[in-house]
Structure 1
Amino acid sequence: MGIKRLKQGRIRMRVPPLEIDLLKTFQRVVTSGSISKTAEDMYLSVSTVTGRIKALEDEVGVPLFVRTGRRIELTDAGAAFVAYVERFMDLIEEGRSRIHARGMAHAGHLNIAATPFFTSYMLPDMIRRFAKKFPKVRLKLSACSNSQVLSLVTQGKADIGMVQEQPQEKGLVRYPLLRDPVIPVVPKGHPLTRLEAIGPEDAASCPILGFDTRSEPWSLLEQWFARHRLVLRVHMEFDHPETLKRYLQPFGAIAFLPGLTVAEELESGDLVSLRMAPPPDIRSSLFMVSRSEASNHAQASQAFMEFALREAAEIAGGAE
C-alpha cells in the first residue's frame, strides 16, 4: 500500500487494485466453496482464481484453504481471516458511500426559513461561507415569524428553519444552536457608563426601550426587575433592533438586546455594555429545526445543518 502526499498537506492512500481483487476473490471462494464456481461467477479462468488465492496465502503467510475432494474448505487460520476481510471490505464500501454523499452535498436546492433576527444577524456571514464552500447549492431564504417558520418546515415547504424559541410542534427535530446573552447597552457618553457597575434601580431610572417584549427573555427580564421590587416600564417599543438602536442616543435610553444584535456597535464603541450587579444572566435561545425524517434529509440540507452547528459552536466559543 503506497501513500502519496498531495498539495496543501492532504494525503491520498493508494491501495493496489490487485490487493482488493485478492480479497474479493477470497470472499467469493468462501461463499461458493468452489474454485471453478468462483471463476465462473467472476468471469475469470480457474488458474487466475487459483493464482489469486495462492498470492493471498503468500501475503498472509499461512494456508487459508484445504482441499477435501472436489470442494475446498477454510483452515482455522482462513476462518479467522474471514471476519477481518469482511470488516475491511465494509470499510471500503462505507468510505465510498461517504465520498459519494459529500459529492452530492455540492449540488441541489435548499430552502431555508428564518426569523428576521437570523436573516439580519446570524445568517449573512454563515450563508456567505456556506455558498463559498458549496457553490452549486442553490439557496432560497425566506424571512418570517417564528410560527410561520415552523409551519413552512412542517409542511415541507422549507427544508430547514431557524427560530428564536424552543419549538414544541410534533414531527420536528430541534437542534440547539446558541444561547445568546441579553446585554444591557447604552449609547457612548451616557451617564451610566461612568459607573463601574449599575444596579436594577439605576437601569429603572432611565428610559427603557423595549424589543421583542412578548418573548421569553423579556418575560425573564420583567421577573428579574420584579424580584428587586421594581417594574420594568417601557418608554417605547420596537419590532426590530436596528430601529431601536437609532433611538438610544436621542432618548438617552438603555436597552436590553441580544449580543448578536449589538456586536458591531460594541466593537466600534458607538454602544457600551453595562455591568450589572447582580447580573440578570438572561439568554435568548436560538434553534434550528427540520422535519423528523432525519434519514431522508437531502445531502444539501444535511451539509448545511452540520455547517450551521459548527458555525454556532465557534460563535459561542468566541463569546466566552
Structure 2
Amino acid sequence: MRIEQLVYIKEIAKTGSIAITSERLHISSQGISQAIKSLEDELGVNIFIRLRTGLQPTEVGKELIIKAEEFLTKVEEFNEVAKIHSSVGEKHLSISAVTSLCRSIIPQTIASYKLKFPEVKLEIIESTVDQIRKNVLNGDSDLGLIAVPPPIMEKNSHLVSTHFLDSSTLPVEGVETQRSCYSIRLKNQYLSTAAQEFLKELKVHAKSFNE
C-alpha cells in the first residue's frame, strides 16, 4: 500500500472519474487505474464499482475511503509539524515590547513558545512605543508589540500593524488603562516562521487575557 494510492481513491470518490482525477493530479489515467487495481488486489476487496457513468464506491469502499481521508489528514499534520520545526531551526528572534505587555501576557507567551520551540534564541527588549518603532525600522527587532490608546493606528508607511488585543486592564504606570495592542513589522519584509509562531502563541494568550 502506498500513500499515492490513498490519494487516488480519495479524489475518485469526489470526482467519480479516473479521467478527471488524472487531470487534477497530473497523473496518467492508466497509472491511476493500475494503482487502484493493485490496491484492490492487495486488500482483496473491490473499492469501486465500474459503471458506464464512472466509478462508484462499494459499501466497503466507502469505509476504506473514510479511513484513507483520516490517514491522509494525519500525514499532512505530521508533515506540518516537521516543516515548522525545520524552518524555525536555530534562529534568533528579537522582539521589542512595551512594559505593560512585558508584565502581562508576554511571560505566558514565552513559556508556551519555548516549550514548542526550545531551539529559538528569544530576545525581548522592553521599551517605549517610539523606540519600538525605531527598533523595527532599523532592523534591530524582528517584531514590535505596542499598546496605545484607542483608536490610534499605525501611521508609518514603512510599517505594518496587526491588532491582537483590546483591554481595559493593562497596567500603565501602575494604573489599569484602556489600550489597543498591535504587533508591528517592516512592510514588504518576510516574516520568519519563528516570528509567525510567536504571534500565534501571543494571540492565544491575548484571547484568554480578558476572560
SS in 2 for 1:63: strand
Residues 173 and 292, structure 1, Cα contact 8 Å, conserved in 2: no
Structure 2 partner of 1:311: 205
* Aligned 1:1-320 pairs, distance under 5 A: 18=1, 20-23=3-6, 30=22, 31-34=27-30, 51-52=38-39, 54-55=41-42, 58-63=45-50, 76-77=54-55, 88=69, 91=73, 94-104=76-86, 105=88, 107-165=90-148, 166-170=153-157, 171-181=159-169, 240-241=173-174, 257-258=175-176, 283-292=178-187, 296-317=190-211
3-state SS of the aligned residue for 1:95?
A: helix
Contact in 2 for aligned 1:107/1:300 (Cα 8 Å):
no
TM superposition score normalised by structure 2: 0.63
Which digits, 9 at most, give the CA deviation of each residue in 1:44-86, with x for residues without a partner? xx8x88533655793424138xxxxxxxxx96116xx9xx89x
Q: CA deviation at 1:289?
A: 2.2
Whole-Å Cα distance in 2 between the matches of residues 156 and 301 of structure 1?
A: 14
CA 1:55–1:77 in structure 2 vs 1: closer, same or farther (change >3 Å)? farther
Distance (Å, rounded) in 1 between the aligned partners of 2:37 and 2:55: 18
Letter in 1 for 2:99: P
How far apart, CA to CA, are the structure 2 residues paired with 1:310 and 1:62? 47
Change in Cα spacing, 1:293 to 1:54, as seen in structure 2 (3 Å) is farther
The number of aligned residues is 184
In structure 1, C-alpha distance between the alignment counterparts of 2:170 and 2:78, rounded to whole Å? 46
In structure 2, the residue corresponding to 1:58 is in which secondary structure? Answer: coil
Q: Is the 8 A contact 2:100 2:170 kept in 1?
A: no
The one-letter code matched in structure 2 to 1:168 is K
Measure the CA separation in 2 of the matches of 1:57 and 1:173: 58
The one of the two structures with greater contact order (alpha-carbon pairs below 8 A, sep at least 6) is 1
Query: Contact 2:108–2:205 at 8 Å: present in 1 too?
Result: no
Which letter maps to 2:201? Answer: F
Alignment check: 8 A CA contact 1:178 1:313 kept: no
Q: Could you tell me how far 1:305 is from its partner in structure 2?
A: 0.5
Structure 1's unaligned 5+ residue stretches are: 1-17, 39-45, 65-73, 184-210, 212-239, 242-256, 259-281
Amino acid paired to 2:39: R
Contact 1:106 1:135 in 2 (8 A): no
Give RMSD over aligned pairs. Answer: 4.2
Of all paired residues, the percent bearing the same amino acid is 16
Distance 1:96 1:120, change over 3 A: closer
- Unaligned 5+ runs, structure 2: 12-17
Alpha-carbon distance in structure 1 between the residues aligned to 2:89 and 2:128: 29
CA contact (8 A) 1:173 1:289 kept: yes
Native 8 Å contact 1:113 1:144 kept in 2 = yes
Q: In the alignment, is the contact (CA less than 8 A) between 2:85 and 2:117 conserved in 1?
A: no
In the TM superposition, what is the alpha-carbon distance from 1:130 to its structure 2 partner?
2.8
Contact 1:107 1:134 (8 Å CA) reproduced: no
